[in-house]
Structure 1
Amino acid sequence: MTTGDGDAGGRLFPDDLDRLDPVGAVRFADACRSAVAYPDLVAVGPLFAPAERTGDGWRIVGACDPLPGGAREVLADVLADRAALLGLSYEEATAYLAAARHLRAAPDDEIGAAGSRFRVVRVEQFVRTGQDGPEPPRPSDPDPRPEVFPVPPARPWDVLRDDPGADDLRGPLLAALSRAGREPSRAYRTPVPLSPMFTVAERRADRWHPSGRLHDLPGGARTALATYFRHVVPAIEAPDPTARAEYAYAAALLDDGSRRNGVEAAGRRFRIVRIERVALAGPDGPEPPRPADARMR
């Protein structure tokens, strides 16, 4: 198909249209806008996650934990559950159970079982900030409308690809870690992005403070904040009737389907904040916990 105007080649569509990734293009444009609006990258501490070696990288197989020992417990549970799967041989099931018992007794961050290789992976967390504070969710982040998905579909586990193609992140991420006093190991310098997560932050004393757990989707953080306004504040903080009405109104705003990312109530200011997560990889895969991480509490 051709056109007479508006296309120097006289074509309505480019020849390589089948190779274009429109979703990827939108996300890239979002990332470029974010780098301008929120230019500062701040390291906010690591998490740890169990991962399994796959054909093209490492697949996260369980929830993140703030401590290496917690991630080992998660991995032990994953292995014990896998031993109960139908179709396994006796030897495979026994191997998974033995690996689960070993992880619960010894502080090892890598183990093999039934021909598979597992590792506890260190995941760095970052927040982008700008003049108006921390970055909220981006338009291209998954954020299903509650009226369409009352229970959002489960997000698939991340895969840390062997060839992540994220070298443009290397300089800013390593610099942010150095500023935070967590100089990266020379053995693990390749950034491998994971899906972002989301939390609630409150503005106090001219600074934003995270005040909740991590959520897979922005809607989960909004629901948690609305629950805090409706149930926790009246029960624990005992606000006066005027403030109680303001909290109730803020909760209704969060539930109105507009997917807002900021709200104020009783003189307090809250925001849904985007948390970037990145693993650092080397020739043997993603970075495991560091010796100093064992002292984390």
Structure 2
Amino acid sequence: MTTGDGDAGGRLFPEDLDGVDPVAAVMLADACRSIAAYPDLVAVGALFTAVERVPDGWQVLCPCDPLPQGARELLADHLEDGCAPGDTAAEPLRRAAWRLRTEPHDELAAAGRRFRVIRIEQLVRTGPDGPEPPRPTDFDPRPGEGRPPGPRPYDRFGGGQATPDLATAELLCQLLDAAARAGTEPSESFLTPVQLAPAFTVAERSGGQWRPVGRLHDTPQQARDSLATYFRHVVPAIERPGEAELADYAEAATLMSGASRRNGIAVVGRRFRIVRLERLTLMGPDGPEPPRASDADPY
């Protein structure tokens, strides 16, 4: 099965699905369709977070930060939050937190636990009609549904050198090509890609380009809700349009916050889209890639 004559989707879709997990197969097919529809990959900058080595891999502990030192300080906060007042057994964790705030440590061990600050690549797929919106297989609860109980599966990833699926391997090839053009190639020690959960943001078409206009969100619905909030509260208070335009913005807010799961809207001559950001970390024999020397770090 192919999606076209020689396109990326045709190369990646497996010919034999016997023994393949059906959910994984659907997600792979969705990824292949995306590669065909949005063939170009744009690196939009690295983020950093902290992880802990656990028996079956690495556990993400903190939100992401655009700077390595920000991730270190978030890890320090996490360690201190886990220390009960007067608990002398937690003293190694307190000392580790102090070291993270005063020295540029990307790896440390404390109280029998191992922590690392890691680098996450952010990438956006684009095609003839602009950046990629959310995919049908992305986790996207309706308003009020929340998350299912239990840990999020993408908060933890394996510690081995497993072979990536074909879509992830294709993503790595495109990433390496982009890095080579920019002169930011990763070390050869870290060349096994592991995909993490995607993020979502709002972009506006302006001056012939799509520009992000909001923060990152875990789900498409959170991004839609943020756009609806902008239409309902920010536009009236800051931009102060006329009554007719206010009514248009109010209608747009209702459409974006409803159950229709819209991923784009045009209002008052402006065009907005919910955009999907792919995220991956590169693994080596000893775990995920730490910050690079070339990464901006204000420590």
* Equivalent in the alignment of 2:5: none
Q: Relative to 1, partners in 2 of residues 1:223 and 1:181: Cα closer, same or farther, differing over 3 Å? A: farther
The equivalent residue for 1:36 is 36
Q: CA contact under 8 A between 2:143 and 2:258: conserved in structure 1? A: no
TM-score by length of 2: 0.86
Where structure 2 has 5 or more consecutive residues not aligned to the other structure, the ranges are 1-16
d(CA) in 1 for partners of 2:128 and 2:183? 24
The letter for the 2-side match of 1:70 is: G
CA contact (8 A) 2:161 2:192 kept: no
**Percent sequence identity over aligned pairs:** 57
Pairing of 1:40-189 with structure 2 (within 5 A): 40-84=40-84, 90-91=88-89, 93-146=90-143, 149=145, 151-153=146-148, 156=152, 158-161=155-158, 162-166=160-164, 167-189=169-191
Give the aligned partner of residue 198 of structure 1: 200
Q: Is the alpha carbon distance of 1:145 and 1:66 closer, same or farther for their aligned partners in structure 2, counting shifts above 3 Å?
A: same
Which residue in the other structure is 1:241 paired with?
243
Partner of 2:6: none
Q: Give distance in 2, aligned partners of 1:259 and 1:294.
A: 37
Matched residue of 1:292: which SS? coil
Structure 1 CA distance for aligned equivalents of residues 219 and 242 of structure 2: 33
Question: In 2, distance between residues paired with 1:220 and 1:181?
Answer: 35
* Partner SS state of residue 117, structure 1: strand
Q: Is the 8 A contact 2:161 2:284 kept in 1?
A: no
Partners of 2:49 and 2:117 within 8 A in 1: yes
RMSD, aligned CA:
2.2
Q: Which residue of 2 aligns with 1:8?
A: none
Give the Cα–Cα distance (whole angstroms) in 1 for the partners of residues 148 and 200 of structure 2: 16
Cα distance, 1:197 vs structure 2: 0.8
C-alpha change, 1:295 and 1:76, in structure 2 (3 Å) is closer
Q: Secondary structure at the match of 1:187?
A: coil
Partner of 2:283: 281
The answer for unaligned runs of 5 or more in structure 1 is: 1-15
Question: Could you tell me which of 199, 213, 216 is aligned with 2:218?
Answer: 216
Offset of residue 74 of structure 1: 0.7
Counterpart contact for 1:226–1:250, Cα < 8 Å: yes
Between 234-243 and 257-266, report the one with greater CA deviation. 234-243
What TM-score do you get using the length of structure 1 for normalisation? Answer: 0.87
Quote the Cα distance in structure 1 between the aligned partners of 2:98 and 2:273: 42
Q: Judging changes above 3 Å, is the alpha-carbon distance between structure 1 residues 112 and 43 closer, same or farther for their aligned structure 2 residues?
A: same
* Distance of 1:200 and 1:114 partners within structure 2: 42
The letter of the residue matching 1:165 is T
Deviation of 1:221 after TM superposition, in Å, equals 0.3
Counterpart Cα distance in 1 of 2:286 and 2:94:
25
**Aligned residue type for 1:226:** A
